[in-house]
Structure 1
Amino acid sequence: MPTSRQITRRNFLQGAAFAGAASIFCPSAERAFGYKSPNDRPVFATIGLRNQGWAITSKSFKFADFAALADVDANVLADNVAKTEKKQGKKPDAYKDYRKVLDRKDVDAVMIATPDHWHTKIAVEAMLAGKDVYCEKPLTLTIDEGKLIEKVVKQTGRVFQVGTMQRSESGQRFLQAVALVNDGRIGKVKKVTCGINGMSASPVITKAPVPEGLDYEFWLGPAPKVDYRALPEMRKGYGGGVPLYSNCHYSFRNWHEYSGGKLTDWGAHHVDIACWALGASDTGPSKVTPLEFSLPVEYKDGHPVVQDQYNAATKFKIQVDMPDDVEMIITSEGDNGILFEGTKGRFFVNRGKIVGAPVEALKDNPLPDGAIEAVYGGKVSANHTANFIEGMNARKQPISDVWSHNRMLEICHLSNIAMRLDRGLKWDPVKREVIGDAQANSFLSRENRKGYEINM
């Protein structure tokens, strides 16, 4: 990063040492943490702009200046360039190829909101180019990708935040839930149920012309080369402006080639909070067993036999054997949220509520002072980007770090592998491999398509 910005951050850390950098939060729209003037604000770029890409960008304008945007869809790119110029009063440079963003010396950090199959390649190359990284969840397409990202974070010393916003931005109830468990309000935890909803199967999706402005070859990138498919009906509401059924854009989460269905979508939120509360953020399960599940297409040897329909699981109930004899259930049934059950009580939490006898008891017996801050590791940031910039200033990892994220995401990935192979999997959380199952271990990694290998 530029020398002037290094000096600013060093001065900030010296001045903040007495208070502790992790406890600082400045809501000002004029400057970010530790930056003395608008010219010293961090310079960001966003790669991948549809839906969540714009969401994380728009929430970050009060903390950073955006010098560049990149997307393989020219229409999405042009729209977001115009919106960004209107928001910040300066037009960002526009690129189809993200590598031109990484070549820029003025960019301090990149925000990545591409489909999942692109996350690891861009993130690794960004760190090697000297950028700090904010990457949307789920961080990886495979378990081995997570190990690679961890290696490069250590190698480069870059600050890396995963976009699991339930840890801060929408997380006050979840922080309270973790604090309740930590304070023993339900006794010894016996069971935790993560309700993450199911998904619908698709009709047969026929081949279609690639939409004008979309570089579909580049969109596929590391994934296998396949024809573009879409039906004429358009999606309404969130994710609107794209086909309701396709193998691209908004629907990418429904295909194992690009994502992991509900397990790595909502699972990446609720399993994360469950593991945090259980103190299992640096370990893993001993076994993952699919009790009930439904795949929308036929599978052979763990792979779908057709390419014209969604292939991620539509319904499921998965048992996960966690440390200390805790049973975790991940299910598509019931309310979206997390149910904690212990020897002394139970409570339920989601983004709209936290309910149960232990919660009601807080009126007369509140949590100890500092209990929430103890969970978070300091004063809670109201904005996920704010916590990221705190980490950039302090040169330490933020609340949504890659290690805790990868550990819980391994549960989600293993759940998908277990369903695809239709059997339980014994897991070694130290070696981070499936025990005695070579076929299952072959799903821990995936080779990138030729021409889209990760440039190390």
Structure 2
Amino acid sequence: MPSSHQTSRRQFLQGIAAAGAASVLVPSANRAFGFESANDRPVFATIGLRNQGWTITNKSFRFADFAALADVDENVLGTNVERVKEKQGKAPDAYKDYRKILERDDIDAVMIATPDHWHTKISVEAMYAGKDVYCEKPLTLTIDEGKLIERVVKETGRVFQVGTMQRTESGQRFLQAIALIRDGRIGKVRKVTCGINGMSPSPVIPEAPVPEGLDWDFWLGPAAAVPYRALPEMREGYGGGVPLYSNCHYSFRNWHEYSGGKLTDWGAHHVDIACWALGATDTGPSKVTPVEYTLPVEYRDGHPVVDDQYNAATKFRISVDMPNDVEMIITSEGDNGILFEGTKGRFFVNRGKIVGKPVEDLEDNPLPEGAIEDVYGGPVSANHTANFIEGMQSREQPISDVWSHNRMLEICHLSNIAMRLGRELNWDPAKREIIGDEQANSFLSREARKGFEIEA
């Protein structure tokens, strides 16, 4: 954006703090905030609209106008065009092919909420098309995809927000947790346990007719061409209802072809906060060990031997050797959240609570003034989109940057590779490769299906 429209991150966040209530911004003549003229508001488009795509769009009307939407399911697309029209008084243009959005000069930024296997291709092409990017977590399907995104962000100078909202909207308790650790309230951290829940295996899922309106080949995109699979039982409340068991909407998370199971779903949240607290957002582990785990189907050489059932791990306990002799445990057992243990105490934090003696002690011994703001880097934003737009304004990367996200996501990806191969992996965080294991390193990337390679 032009320099006349730029503002510093601290000035912007101070404006939010002065406004008081969550997600309220003070009026500004700056283009990104657009409170004085409709012509000054940033212009967005959303690509991928089911559930989370609508969620992030709906949270953004306060700050931006939506000129276009894209989805490969015409039913989802049509429903959300009407929703956006109702919200902003003007219908956005609708496309099945997201590339039509990238061709437009009037769109400043895209919000991406497709299945994970599409994230990198769309993100890279959007940046080369001159768009800033907000992309849902987990950002990548493989470790090498993360390296590519980092390179393109640096090359193009685009602003890129990852949708790990525990750093902002649901993050007050997590920021307090990090502040407690930085203030030495539990002494030297020895162990951190990330509880991220397991999942249930699926029954055999048969081939089924592709739902009317869904372009199944385009949905698969970079992934291998396979038949659509679904059982008739429905899962309600997810964008109007989808099959409870399928290899498509919602359930794609449970297939390594398209995602990484709970390790990259909830792991992308809690491992992120754990690494932030440990000061490990620009490094990585030295070893990842699958202590115990259950894969729902048989694997051979790291690949499932059947294609009609969920294949991501259902139960697991992973031990990760982190810097400064800290052990990280990632487990499907126990309460969902993060347990920090140090030489002087321990406490537990999740989206609903922060508990433990160090927390109780705050009543008589509060954190230093500004401790939470120091963690965040200024007054805390209560809206992830606002933080993104502020980055667009200042041309600085927002709170959920690609570098810290990829570093923690490498732990999640390595955990999945270790379970798929059934052995511990030694990791070089400087070279970002697995040490002495050619087969395991082959899982750091994945070849795209012909016709769906990244256009750069």
1: CA distance, partners of 2:428 / 2:342: 26
Equivalent residue for 1:11, pick from 4, 9, 12: 4
- Taking the TM superposition and a 5 Å limit, the aligned residue runs for 1:127-138 are 127-138=127-138
What's the counterpart of residue 78 of structure 1? Answer: 78
For residues 34-433 of structure 1, the aligned pairs below 5 Å read 34-35=33-34, 36-238=36-238, 240-433=240-433
Answer yes or no: is the 8 Å Cα contact 1:45–1:66 preserved in 2.
Answer: yes
Report the counterpart of residue 11 of structure 2 in structure 1: 20
Contact 2:187–2:342 (Cα < 8 Å) also in 1: yes
Question: 1:21·1:394 contact (CA, 8 Å) conserved in 2?
Answer: no
Q: 1:445 to 1:17 in 2, by over 3 A?
A: closer
What's the offset of the Cα at 1:237?
2.9
Q: How does 1:431-446 map to 2 (within 5 A)?
A: 431-446=431-446
Question: How far apart are residue 58 of structure 1 and its match?
Answer: 0.1
Distance 1:302 1:272 in 2: 26
Deviations 1:28-62 (A, max 9, x none): 49777553422101000000000000000000000
Gaps of 5+ in 2: none
Using the aligned pairs only, state the percent identity: 80
The alpha-carbon distance between structure 1 residues 59 and 437, as it changes in their structure 2 partners (threshold 3 A), is same
Cα separation, 2, equivalents of 1:39 and 1:190: 53
Amino acid at match of 1:302: G
Find the aligned partners of 1:34 and 1:164 in 2 and give their Cα distance: 22
Match of 1:3 in 2: none
Deviation at 1:156, TM superposition (A): 0.1
Please tell me the residue identity of whatever aligns with 2:262.
K
- Superposed CA deviations along residues 359-401 of structure 1, whole A, max 9, x for unmatched, are 0000011111111111101111110000000100000000000
The amino acid of 2:159's aligned partner reads: V
Query: Retained in 2: the 8 A contact 1:28–1:62?
Result: no
Cα deviation, 1:398-435, whole Å, max 9, x if unaligned, reads 00000000000000000000000000000000000000
Are the equivalent residues in 1 in contact too, given 2:32–2:64 (CA < 8 A)? Answer: no
Change (3 A) 1:160 1:238: same
- Give the superposition deviation at 1:24: 3.6
Contact 1:112–1:119 under 8 Å retained in 2: yes
Distance (whole Å) between structure 2 residues aligned to residue 235 and residue 29 of structure 1? 41
Give the SS at the match of 1:249.
coil
Query: Contact between 1:12 and 1:34, CA under 8 Å: does it hold in 2?
Result: no
Partner deviation per Cα, 1:5-35 (whole Å, 9 max, x = no partner): x44xx3343xx45963454426249777553
RMSD between superposed Cα atoms in Å = 1.4
Contact 2:33 2:42 in 1 (8 A): no
Matches of 2:10 and 2:162 in 1, distance apart? 26
Task: Give the AA of the match of 1:47.
Answer: I
Q: 1:316 to 1:18 in 2, by over 3 A?
A: closer
Deviation at 1:240, TM superposition (A): 4.8
Partner Cα distance (1:320, 1:292) in 2: 13
For each residue in 1:287-344, what CA deviation from the matched residue of structure 2 results, as whole angstroms up to 9, or x when unmatched?
0000000000000000000000000000000000000000000000000000000000
- How far apart, in 2, do the equivalents of 1:278 and 1:23 lie? 27
Q: Secondary structure at the match of 2:250?
A: helix
Q: Distance in 2 between matches of 1:448 and 1:396?
A: 31
- The answer to whether the Cα contact below 8 Å between 2:33 and 2:389 also exists between their aligned partners in 1 is no
Q: 1:271 to 1:63 in 2, by over 3 A?
A: same
Indicate if the aligned counterparts of 1:177 and 1:349 stay in contact, CA closer than 8 A: yes
The alignment's TM-score, normalised by the length of structure 2, stands at 0.96
On the 8 A contact 2:13/2:379 being kept in 1, the answer is yes
Q: What letter is aligned with 1:168?
A: T
Q: Tell me, yes or no, if the aligned pair for 2:162 and 2:402 is still in contact at 8 Å.
A: yes
Q: C-alpha displacement at 1:241, in angstroms?
A: 1.1
Q: Point out where structure 1 has 5 or more consecutive residues left out of the alignment.
A: 1-5
Return the TM-score normalized by structure 1: 0.96
Secondary structure at the counterpart of residue 91 of structure 1: coil
